[in-house]
């Protein structure tokens, strides 16, 4: 029960850290409370709505009543399985915008600019894209990135509508240009979910210098200011000769830090936990993406709704089981868009996930048969929440409060996102498929009506992050320094989405894996050389919201 490095959590970042440390010849013990990822609910991409919410695979966390969302208690699923949330997520692969990482560096995460992180995104992936600039992409990494076949006509209609509405197209939003409409990418390989466990952990566990321990973490053992190991709730002690690396995610990492005496001193004292390091930023700065499903009833029988029947699912499941092809082999998110909400916004702040069926995330469809939807919402909300302890009992779920929609700017941004979405669906290529709007509904036109719909129907995109943010060592609210060392404790690193200073522009799996890759190099005292590739920024972003406006302004 001893190794050079003890990694807490076999999630997106933890698997990457483990693989790189093992590859470098270090001995590693991974602690994971969750069980096996074997079975069709996880491995069949189209079954993505099932593992989320299953006690076997999901921690089952929920928020406190959200005061600006009609006091709704909202789901906050987190993966409790090897691969972590990469084993229960929607498999969507978005790095984020280059400017996100430049902003991280400006906020004190020195060495985390786009030029610094791009080599790690590339090292992580094997890209199977059919268009784009290969200079931005990786060709020999553990994570396989593919695109759907886009056979359903709605996928291309959505892309064409976005372009016709004036936003342009992108042939690779993870490459030179994020802004525009194009094909979505996913962590699916040979028809199966390609989680961080498949990419990193399973190859690492085949090596003699890597093993996995099942158990729930009670706390990190700290002796004379240094992390020496990890205590499990059953009393076992796992010792680390070199360092402990915490990779338990945006909810469980701050929880474990606080249980170990690292966090806001008053909060720890109130919970009868001895203070090891007073770090007021632990559990603070909680961020997420909130989104609404803008749903339409279709005027033509073009959606994949027929396959949502019992017989349809049986047919799709059988085809996938025997051939790993068909509708079961895709997450069905095959086209997307990234747009700027108004002139003066430098890079996209609204994202679209398009789906050729009207369906909720839990798999339930509204009445009416054929339909489609776009998931959308603002990417950079000013609202901040917190993760705190209920007690010093490690088996008790933490208290989660996102404070969704707590700023007036949130309401302005969300209304604008809905109205811009309606405009896209009213544009030629999509309009021919629209019968009527299901949600928010054709009657919801005023600010007040839209606000009521947002309060009642907006859902988390399940992108929590930021609860132990990275910054300079003299920043009182920083929890880790730019080398991922926890400030105030020796021998302890933290690498997962909790260290993000600002939520990136898109889904969080890809940047979480990147953090694992980069943290491993920091631990091994090595670094990939920076790559100064310039991202595309709309030339007239200061005066125009979309390309067509810029062209009009230029002509005038």
**Contact predicate 197/10, CB 8 Å:** yes
**Contact predicate 4/26, CB 8 Å:** yes
* Cα separation, 168 vs 478, whole angstroms: 39
* Cα separation, 144 vs 49, whole angstroms: 21
Contacting residues for 227 by C-beta, under 8 A, at least 6 apart:
220, 221, 240, 243, 244, 486, 489, 490, 491, 492
Query: If you ran DSSP here, which 8-state letter would residue 86 be given?
Result: G
Query: If you ran DSSP here, which 8-state letter would residue 5 be given?
Result: E
**Contact predicate 470/500, CB 8 Å:** yes
**Contact predicate 362/423, CB 8 Å:** no
Three-state SS at 521: helix
Three-state SS at 419: helix
* Cα separation, 467 vs 286, whole angstroms: 5
The alpha helices in 236-300, defined as continuous H runs, are 249-259, 265-270
* Cα separation, 508 vs 518, whole angstroms: 15
* Cα separation, 502 vs 99, whole angstroms: 11
Alpha carbon 202 to chain centroid distance?
22
* From 144, 370, 375, 463, active-site residue: 463
Q: Is 149 exposed, middle or buried (0-12, 13-18, 19+ CB in 10 A)?
A: middle
**Contact predicate 228/211, CB 8 Å:** no
Known active-site residue 463:
yes
* Cα separation, 153 vs 66, whole angstroms: 39
The alpha helices in 175-264, defined as continuous H runs, are 196, 202-205, 249-259
* Cα separation, 347 vs 337, whole angstroms: 13
Give CA angle at 507 (431, 313), nearest 5°: 65
CB neighbourhood size of 323 (10 A): 11
| Residue 307: φ, ψ to 5° | -80, 0
Three-state SS at 222: strand
**Contact predicate 440/225, CB 8 Å:** no
**Contact predicate 45/91, CB 8 Å:** yes
Nearest Cα neighbor of 64 from 54, 52, 74, 49 is 74
Beta bridge partners of 58: 79
| Strand positions, DSSP E, 17-82 | 28-32, 61-62, 75-76
Q: Is 446 exposed, middle or buried (0-12, 13-18, 19+ CB in 10 A)?
A: exposed
Indicate which residues carry an active-site annotation: 463
């Amino acid at each position: 029960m001893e190794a050079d490095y003890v990694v807490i959590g076999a999630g997106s970042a933890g698997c990457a850290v483990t693989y790189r440390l093992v590859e470098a010849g270090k001995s590693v013990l991974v602690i994971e409370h969750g069980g096996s990822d074997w079975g069709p609910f996880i491995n069949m991409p189209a079954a993505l709505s099932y593992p989320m919410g299953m006690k076997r695979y999901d921690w089952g966390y929920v928020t406190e009543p959200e005061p600006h969302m009609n006091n709704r208690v909202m789901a906050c699923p987190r993966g409790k399985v090897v691969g972590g949330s990469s084993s229960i997520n929607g498999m969507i692969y978005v790095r984020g915008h280059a400017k996100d990482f430049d902003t991280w560096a400006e906020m004190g995460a020195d060495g985390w600019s786009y030029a610094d992180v791009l080599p790690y995104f590339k090292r992580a992936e094997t890209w199977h894209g059919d268009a784009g600039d290969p200079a931005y992409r990786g060709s020999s990494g553990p994570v396989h990135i593919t695109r759907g076949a886009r056979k359903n006509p709605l996928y291309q209609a959505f892309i064409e509508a976005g372009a016709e509405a004036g936003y342009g197209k992108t042939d690779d939003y993870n490459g030179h240009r994020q802004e525009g409409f194009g094909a979505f990418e996913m962590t699916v390989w040979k028809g199966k979910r390609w989680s961080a466990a498949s990419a990193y952990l399973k190859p690492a566990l085949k090596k003699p210098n890597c093993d996995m321990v099942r158990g729930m973490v009670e706390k990190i053992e700290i002796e004379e200011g240094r992390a020496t190991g990890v205590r499990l709730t059953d009393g076992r002690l796992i010792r680390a000769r070199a360092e402990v690396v915490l990779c338990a995610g945006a909810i469980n990492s701050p929880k474990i830090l606080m249980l170990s005496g690292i966090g806001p001193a008053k909060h720890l004292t109130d919970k009868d936990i001895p203070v090891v390091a007073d770090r007021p930023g632990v559990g603070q700065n909680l961020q997420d993406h909130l989104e609404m499903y803008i749903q339409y009833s279709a005027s033509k029988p073009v959606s994949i709704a027929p396959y949502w029947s019992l017989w349809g699912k049986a047919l799709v499941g059988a085809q996938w089981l025997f051939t790993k092809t068909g509708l079961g082999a895709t997450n069905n998110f095959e086209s997307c868009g990234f747009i700027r909400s108004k002139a003066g916004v430098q890079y996209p702040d609204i994202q679209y996930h398009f789906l050729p069926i009207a369906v909720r995330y839990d798999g339930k469809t509204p009445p009416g048969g054929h339909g489609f939807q776009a998931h959308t919402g603002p990417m950079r909300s000013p609202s901040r929440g917190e993760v705190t302890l209920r007690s010093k009992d490690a088996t008790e779920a933490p208290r989660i409060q996102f404070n969704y929609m707590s700023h007036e700017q949130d309401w302005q941004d969300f209304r604008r996102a809905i109205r811009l979405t309606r405009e896209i669906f009213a544009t030629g290529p999509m309009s021919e498929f629209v019968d009527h709007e299901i949600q928010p509904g054709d009657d919801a036109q005023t600010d007040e009506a839209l606000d009521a719909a947002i309060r009642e129907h907006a859902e988390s995109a399940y992108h929590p992050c930021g609860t132990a943010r990275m910054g300079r060592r003299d920043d009182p609210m920083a929890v880790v320094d730019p080398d991922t060392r926890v400030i105030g404790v020796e021998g302890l690193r933290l690498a997962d989405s909790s260290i993000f200073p600002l939520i990136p522009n898109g889904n969080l799996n890809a940047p979480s894996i990147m953090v694992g890759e980069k943290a491993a190099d920091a631990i091994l005292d090595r670094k990939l050389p920076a790559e100064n590739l310039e991202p595309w920024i709309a030339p007239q972003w200061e005066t125009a919201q979309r390309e067509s406006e810029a062209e009009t302004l230029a002509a005038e």
